[in-house]
Amino acid sequence: DIQMTQSPSTLSASVGDRVTITCRASQSISSWLAWCQQKPGKAPKLLIYKASSLESGVPSRFSGSGSGTEFTLTISSLQPDDFATYYCQQYNSYPWTFGQGTKVEIK
Amino acid sequence: EVQLVESGGGVVRPGGSLRLSCAASGFKFDDYGMSWVRQAPGKGLEWVAGINWNSGGTGYADSVKGRFTISRDNAKNSLYLQMNSLRAEDTALYHCARGGGYNHLDYWGQGTLVTVSS
């Protein structure tokens, strides 16, 4: 099975900061990677698919990059609505797997 | 508008069974693979099972393989998860999600809670 490892697990940042979250796959997944955002008590929301494609309706301050085994999610200027937990997820092959999550907290 | 509404959760004893259902609307159901994703209390997301658009391919997390079965009825726009031999560690909120096979996950339902306890 493909293991997904995110870092950091927790991130403290201020409004306006540039934030980067890293996701590593235990083997190559090409570009079959998605990023989602989850707020407490809510269903996850897709942000990025195929490593760098922005889902419709998602603000352009979110961007994704990478391929193979190394991926990043970047928020160019953190907004109050962005404090949440972020997950990467590979869909290269079954069983699909999520990273353990990165909680973005207010500094 | 894409809508996914789960049902069938509840409290069940260890070793018991439960069948979850997901009613889909707002999109052409048989154009998409579908999945179940769960979240234990206070924990992260775990993909459980997926099925492609015509039921020709399925996949399972190692933690549920041999105990859970995913299926779909395209005529009824419905997705199912048959859960047998339930364990305490299966306690979670179970989300139906659009995506599976060649489609990434892009919409999730609000979930149905499964509690396995004696």
Q: Classify A16 in phi/psi space as left (phi over 0), alpha (psi -120 to 50) or beta.
A: left
If one counts every other C-beta atom within 10 angstroms of the C-beta of residue A14, the result is 9
CA B12 from chain centre, in angstroms, equals: 17
Q: Are A91 and B108 in contact (CB < 8 Å)?
A: no
Average pLDDT, chain B: 96
In DSSP terms, which residues pair with B63 in a beta bridge?
none
What pLDDT score does A65 carry?
A: 98
Helix, strand, or coil (residue B31): helix
A106 has a pLDDT exceeding 90 = no
If one counts every other C-beta atom within 10 angstroms of the C-beta of residue B95, the result is 24
pLDDT single digits (tens) A75-95: 999 999 999 999 999 999 999
Q: What is the distance in angstroms between the Cα of A18 and the nearest Cα belonging to chain B?
A: 24
Which tokens hold the place of A30?
Answer: 């090409």
pLDDT single digits (tens) A46-59: 999 999 999 999 99
What pLDDT score does B4 carry?
A: 98
If one counts every other C-beta atom within 10 angstroms of the C-beta of residue A25, the result is 23
pLDDT single digits (tens) A15-29: 999 999 999 999 999
Select from B35, B46, B60, B105 the residue whose CB has the most chain A CBs within 10 Å, as the one to mutate to test that interface.
Answer: B105
Mean pLDDT of all residues in A36-52: 97
* A52 at interface of B, judged by CB pairs closer than 8 A: no
Q: Are B50 and A46 in contact (CB < 8 Å)?
A: no
What pLDDT score does A79 carry?
A: 95
What string of pLDDT tens digits covers the 118 residues of chain B? 999 999 999 999 999 999 999 999 999 999 999 999 999 999 999 999 999 998 889 999 999 999 999 999 999 999 999 999 999 999 999 999 999 888 899 999 999 999 999 9
What pLDDT score does B103 carry?
A: 87
Nearest of A20, A22, A38, A18 to residue A78 by alpha carbon: A18
